[in-house]
Structure 1
């Protein structure tokens, strides 16, 4: 049977959801855009929204009779939007929840009733109706305006708009009561784990199952009054029919209070590049009630949106205006298709080959965690982590079902840095069977409509690690993906349909070799936990416990492990770190060793996956970031400080990269043939006159014991097997043993990576290498490092103490040959900060 007559799991899933229609399939009227900027008439200017963000009053406990319309003697003030925990901390009423075990104290505030109140003046200069909008309240609330109850709601991802026109006065009082978070014990071995999240729709990663135990409570997203017009636009949707041709479609949901003849004005302008603005005036006849307008058009000289490293992230802004209703949103010209794996269409597999703008790509990626347990989700915080993701050559992040439908700031920044998002809805571990269906449906539909114009959004997912992703809720999400969008795939689960999750080394206590030969058609999640930097650890340890050692003697250290120490966390951590540690070690060595283990284990999966393309089409390691400061699987800690893994993964994901594959970490006294590959995602080598890959091996004395050279033969973007790097049994007796791999194109060094093996038999060998000397030369933001010794410098790290959470280095954790100079660029540091620059490496002579 040919593939044309077969059905993939995507096909059978789509049919099973029973969607009433596919929003993207219906054709629209053809319109022609003119090379003119859109000019809106004065009549199009409508009353502006009134923000109710800012200073609010907060008070704990009490009832409606005591709180409505009365002075609050026990009040304090805070800034909305925020969580209750953040407001208490900012007001000096709660110690920093991130330090020590203060989180235990802060958590108790989630189990109280909280009252929030603001007063505002209002004057209407037209006949508009006004809706009160809460974009996010956690979790169950009752709302009063001027003493009248106007809404009750559950679910933290937005409240349906409330018509308050008849209740508004010149002076107004808005009061919100937040009900306590329920507690439902879940596990005997983790008394903190609160299963009540399964009875609502919330961010569940703050409910005590992973290093954060601050169940969200608060008005955590903006509050505003929105004027309604006689004719209302309801989130128009623009999407790409044919990227190369610039063919676009526009769907305009619209409502009118009465029949009307109007002009719909459409404007398209470049948002982040120079180009011609376009516009079109379209006469429309509207019936009373809700309707939908559809149009098809061409954007001439279209500039496409591409994922990170594969092209530019060109963005346009769309403006749609009818009467006094105006809608603006950015978009990109981008198509996504899913093609089958090389084995062809399979009824048990999703089509895992991502095809962007007609181009088959390998997906280099990671997991994305809620950025802060206290819900301090500032644009600046997002910018820090997403810029590091861009530098790490990340093309996709999985916003997993334990988090949230991400914010507009998050998606705007992902659009700009070229990071595709797999957005999962907030379900996990079959919770969709327990969560209220109406709240789930409200959440899914609301945020599908909100997010669908962002080109970075490329896939919807039902949730995280549900063993049985079936049922009414899963089908509802599938229908929403088709009926409200139709241009993006939807997966009923992750892992499912061929993707894989693997934590054999951490939870399964497997040897670290487990990672070296692991394969999958698509990696949805895997990883290894490590300790943040010493500087970060000392930020979350109270001063009085910073000197407590070993770590099992420090309850604050143990508390900041993945499950607060309840799941043998420290034993698991030590087992992984002790591959590299001497018999006696300190915190600095412990941190380094745990980060070595993480970098080694994950990097081997990343590189092996890339060399298997297209049998493996993508790899999403777990994870980029944290919701709380702790020992975790992240490559960048909660504060924003990169771990060693960040730089190692950055090397592994370079578009032009050479690598060596290993089946085992230890092979002392054994002859080995190690496969050598060149990886060239963008076919750069086709334009190069000469390219050479050099692989070298060094023994424990850092003596060169073998060198081989290879010449890649470009073959599009396919991985190039260059041969094997062969070491005899005599050459592998060294412990440790290092392998260094360089790729040079037209005499320009393009990529270097180094590996360490044979580290188990000589405990602590990486910390006892022959020493060398390094010098630094700093010019503005350029740092030149010179190895002035006779031995290679291993694991060279730059840092700026006290500033590593916001300063960035273009490269780090380096191998520098004797006499060699390398230049590293520093961003985010001013002239004064640069004076604090420090350097270290595994074998540097200490001054």
Structure 2
């Protein structure tokens, strides 16, 4: 093994699709039926007999939760809409039997060949289950643990005629918790090894079944006598590398577990092929035995490296791993791999951890993530869309919050594709697990500190999930939990046993805001704030040097609100009189305080939500600009709490549950650009941040203002260059800007142009008057823009032009809509949005995504603060 292996990273396994010699794997994801346990008098042996009648059973959604099946069968109202969730029985009051269900699936399968083996795999069941096939119980004792995979060799139990029945009884978690409104309810939900948020949090109402169900994939795998399990592929990328250049060699180490399921000894060869190179090792297996096999190291010449988003390509390789016995493949895996190495070091100046990829330091710009869907309705397509949004925000990391789950392989595949590093918490949180005194909790801190009840189950689940996920290049860090370390025996098992044995390649944070991540000399919990802040605050207030959670507001526009709010509840919050509609409160609204008042009296809910977008954009642009302005001086990274909601919440989101983006996304996109010009509102300086690895040269910096009539003033224009991986201050303009904005405000336009006069970056601020009011915007005259839209494959290019002599065309929202009902088409992706166009200028926005290709008769809706709503025909 290569001598630098201990600091190497892991190659990606992007799929668990097996390509065996007989037949590919397949998923049991349709044709399931279910029934509540009290309605079934038979036992598992009888129910799993193909002759047992299923009259009266209802169709089941698998993968899915009990609540998902009930919802799909219209047995309960949509818990995401209005106050519907209150009308669904909660398991705490209804009892565990209410959500204990049988799930049954008939399928055709037989073993083939003398050594043919058929395997049944469950990737996730919450929380307990017993499994029966054709009258036989497969598990010797009840399975527990939401994060512990199960595999069964079902070859002996398959029906000779190929007609099989699988029956699974799924039990809710032993302790369901009182949903009393606290973080994780009364906290006892953490006595289980499962998701904690299902008892409710400050951003979600409780999931009434606590996500009981076969929530992840069920698959059938066919192999020969020997099966390949849990491959482990590690890469070493020594030295400092540069994107786009010829590379020195990388080193590949591959290992895998192999299992002989037959009653005879087998000799064969385990081999893998990568880039035309084949490496192998002879293996001898005793009957009914397993072994871990380390294969010879591969020197990969001129490797194509995997880089985080914004720094380089996300190169992936095809690799095939096979076990050959008697000249024939017994089992094979076809996988994709990515080559990269992650290092961390301690930055003594900032007092926080610094991250490097392939020898280049990376300023972390991240988003906190709960899960894709609060009911665990996961799909590859939704994962892809959500991760793409994060890439489009110019982020480079997603942190998986500890009160939820270890994310699914399909999520990591999307992160591999789009270049998002992943910070993966394990399943506990300081709120439930005893970090603080909390009157909402049932038990004291000393008791909660020892949650969960079954430490061995937790440890076994950690080991299993490490094996499941350790090969993805996007997975960058493991973390003991959200804002708290696990109990000592669990912590030491992870740090001292599991990770050294199963994954030596990633830094392990003991908890999400620990001193090993960010030495918090400022005191407090090491994260936040979470509410709306003055723009200047993000620039001037020095927070924690690697802040794992900091955020602001995030209400969508009126179109978004109407998807989950009854019309009668679409009422503007009254901040002055502290009045907020009950549905808003139920959906966890964070107040915008008095920030709307600077934009004038809000006449109706449509204006209020549109003004909220101006505030959203300003908040998240300022957040990332403020942190970037102090990179490597105050900070080595920041993670936004939070970028998405798995439920219809009214806080902390760049797009809503239905994948409709709001202005938070585009303000953050602007503030996070890799090469970005920006204005420091505290010092009044123009600054340029350069996240690239190389110096930026021959850039023209242009600074202009525009008044409310559209007249411009050139403040300065000069050629600049900026150092790599840093922020530079260039010139003070505060006095000039303050003078120009004093009466009614002003637009400040900052642009970087290359030698071909092409815009490299543009940043437009709307500045308040000397009283802090946007008085000029309230009197802004209409702008008559020209619009055109043209389709090319799965893309639509929309051009907006603002003729000379007009006012600024301010803050224009683009939406792709159905031609008939004018409803937004979701999800689609905009190269930019909420854009402002200066007089005599034009901009083109590209709309892309699979939905664009599917809707050939779509229109483009455009409206702005002073641009009337209109629809553009796509040519």
* Coarse TM-score class (shorter-chain normalised): 0.7 to 0.9
Name 1:819's counterpart in structure 2: 840
Match of residue 219, structure 2, among 201, 221, 224: 224
Does structure 1 residue 715 correspond to structure 2 residue 723? Answer: yes
Q: How far apart in 2 are the matches of 1:631 and 1:121?
A: 46
Q: How far apart in 1 are the matches of 2:812 and 2:29?
A: 47
Q: How far apart in 2 are the matches of 1:410 and 1:757?
A: 40
Say if 1:56 and 1:361 are closer, same or farther in 2 by CA, change over 3 A. same
Q: How far apart in 1 are the matches of 2:462 and 2:470?
A: 12
Q: How far apart in 2 are the matches of 1:548 and 1:525?
A: 30
Name 1:326's counterpart in structure 2: 332
Q: How far apart in 2 are the matches of 1:487 and 1:842?
A: 51
Cα shift readout 1:200-250 (whole Å, capped 9, x = no counterpart): 122333321122422212212122344565434332211112354122222
Consecutive unaligned residues in structure 2, runs of 5 or more:
9-18, 239-247, 325-329, 434-448, 521-525, 818-822, 871-875
Cα shift readout 1:651-677 (whole Å, capped 9, x = no counterpart): 1222221111223xxxxxxxxx41221
Match of residue 32, structure 2, among 43, 56, 63: 56
Name 1:340's counterpart in structure 2: 346
Name 1:197's counterpart in structure 2: 189
Equivalent residue runs for 1:771-810 within 5 Å: 771-780=782-791, 781-788=796-803, 790-801=806-817, 802-810=823-831
The CA RMSD over aligned residues, in Å, is: 3.3
Name 1:45's counterpart in structure 2: 21
Match of residue 679, structure 1, among 684, 689, 706: 689
Cα shift readout 1:69-104 (whole Å, capped 9, x = no counterpart): 353444111232122222222223333332222222
Name 1:31's counterpart in structure 2: none
Equivalent residue runs for 1:210-359 within 5 Å: 210-214=203-207, 215-227=210-222, 229-242=224-237, 244-256=248-260, 260-269=266-275, 277-285=276-284, 289-323=290-324, 324-341=330-347, 343=349, 352-359=353-360
Q: How far apart in 2 are the matches of 1:218 and 1:595?
A: 38
Match of residue 85, structure 2, among 99, 103, 119: 103
Q: How far apart in 1 are the matches of 2:290 and 2:129?
A: 31
Does structure 1 residue 157 correspond to structure 2 residue 147? Answer: yes
Say if 1:596 and 1:225 are closer, same or farther in 2 by CA, change over 3 A. same
Say if 1:127 and 1:557 are closer, same or farther in 2 by CA, change over 3 A. farther
Q: How far apart in 2 are the matches of 1:471 and 1:394?
A: 34
Does structure 1 residue 694 correspond to structure 2 residue 682? Answer: no
Say if 1:331 and 1:551 are closer, same or farther in 2 by CA, change over 3 A. farther
Contact 1:713–1:720 (Cα < 8 Å) also in 2 = no
Say if 1:407 and 1:846 are closer, same or farther in 2 by CA, change over 3 A. closer
Does structure 1 residue 612 correspond to structure 2 residue 602? Answer: no
Contact 1:233–1:253 (Cα < 8 Å) also in 2 = yes
Name 2:680's counterpart in structure 1: 661
Name 1:408's counterpart in structure 2: 409
Q: How far apart in 2 are the matches of 1:388 and 1:576?
A: 30
Does structure 1 residue 533 correspond to structure 2 residue 544? Answer: no
Aligned residue for 1:213, secondary structure, equals coil
Does structure 1 residue 178 correspond to structure 2 residue 145? Answer: no
TM-score, normalised by the number of residues in structure 1: 0.84
Contact 2:355–2:362 (Cα < 8 Å) also in 1 = yes
Name 1:472's counterpart in structure 2: 489
Q: How far apart in 2 are the matches of 1:537 and 1:546?
A: 10
Q: How far apart in 2 are the matches of 1:127 and 1:830?
A: 47
Contact 1:268–1:317 (Cα < 8 Å) also in 2 = yes
Q: How far apart in 2 are the matches of 1:576 and 1:221?
A: 44
Match of residue 116, structure 1, among 76, 100, 103: 103
Name 2:57's counterpart in structure 1: 75
TM-score, normalised by the number of residues in structure 2: 0.82
Q: How far apart in 2 are the matches of 1:608 and 1:548?
A: 33
Q: How far apart in 1 are the matches of 2:195 and 2:579?
A: 27
Say if 1:200 and 1:582 are closer, same or farther in 2 by CA, change over 3 A. same
Q: How far apart in 1 are the matches of 2:77 and 2:179?
A: 28
Say if 1:554 and 1:89 are closer, same or farther in 2 by CA, change over 3 A. farther
Q: How far apart in 1 are the matches of 2:608 and 2:846?
A: 28
Deviates more, 1:470-479 or 1:700-709: 700-709
Q: How far apart in 2 are the matches of 1:643 and 1:393?
A: 16
Match of residue 459, structure 1, among 469, 477, 496: 477
Say if 1:58 and 1:23 are closer, same or farther in 2 by CA, change over 3 A. farther
Q: How far apart in 2 are the matches of 1:301 and 1:336?
A: 19
Say if 1:368 and 1:548 are closer, same or farther in 2 by CA, change over 3 A. closer
Aligned residue for 1:540, secondary structure, equals coil
Name 1:726's counterpart in structure 2: 734
Cα shift readout 1:342-390 (whole Å, capped 9, x = no counterpart): 539xxxx66x221111111222221222111121111111121122222
Deviates more, 1:51-60 or 1:695-704: 695-704
Equivalent residue runs for 1:629-668 within 5 Å: 629-663=648-682
Q: How far apart in 2 are the matches of 1:524 and 1:717?
A: 21
Say if 1:576 and 1:318 are closer, same or farther in 2 by CA, change over 3 A. farther
Say if 1:702 and 1:522 are closer, same or farther in 2 by CA, change over 3 A. farther
1:444: Cα distance to partner? 1.3
Equivalent residue runs for 1:543-582 within 5 Å: 544-545=567-568, 558-561=582-585, 564=586, 570=589, 572-575=590-593, 577-582=595-600
Q: How far apart in 2 are the matches of 1:94 and 1:652?
A: 42
Contact 1:427–1:463 (Cα < 8 Å) also in 2 = yes
Contact 1:516–1:601 (Cα < 8 Å) also in 2 = no
Say if 1:843 and 1:316 are closer, same or farther in 2 by CA, change over 3 A. same
1:736: Cα distance to partner? 3.9
Equivalent residue runs for 1:15-30 within 5 Å: 24-25=5-6
Q: How far apart in 1 are the matches of 2:182 and 2:346?
A: 42
Deviates more, 1:125-134 or 1:622-631: 125-134
Aligned residue for 1:404, secondary structure, equals coil
Aligned residue for 1:478, secondary structure, equals helix
Equivalent residue runs for 1:744-763 within 5 Å: 744-746=753-755, 747-758=757-768, 761-762=772-773
Contact 2:279–2:296 (Cα < 8 Å) also in 1 = no
Contact 1:366–1:623 (Cα < 8 Å) also in 2 = yes
1:469: Cα distance to partner? 5.4
Say if 1:423 and 1:438 are closer, same or farther in 2 by CA, change over 3 A. same
Say if 1:50 and 1:700 are closer, same or farther in 2 by CA, change over 3 A. closer
1:334: Cα distance to partner? 0.4
Q: How far apart in 2 are the matches of 1:814 and 1:263?
A: 60
Match of residue 548, structure 2, among 524, 532, 557: 524
Cα shift readout 1:700-726 (whole Å, capped 9, x = no counterpart): 666546723343223233322212223
Cα shift readout 1:564-608 (whole Å, capped 9, x = no counterpart): 26xxx55x4241643545334322222233333333233223112
Deviates more, 1:242-251 or 1:412-421: 242-251
Contact 2:309–2:420 (Cα < 8 Å) also in 1 = yes
Contact 2:811–2:865 (Cα < 8 Å) also in 1 = yes
1:539: Cα distance to partner? 1.0
Name 1:836's counterpart in structure 2: 859
Does structure 1 residue 143 correspond to structure 2 residue 131? Answer: yes
* Aligned length in residues: 778
Contact 2:271–2:295 (Cα < 8 Å) also in 1 = no
Contact 1:795–1:841 (Cα < 8 Å) also in 2 = yes
Deviates more, 1:694-703 or 1:169-178: 694-703
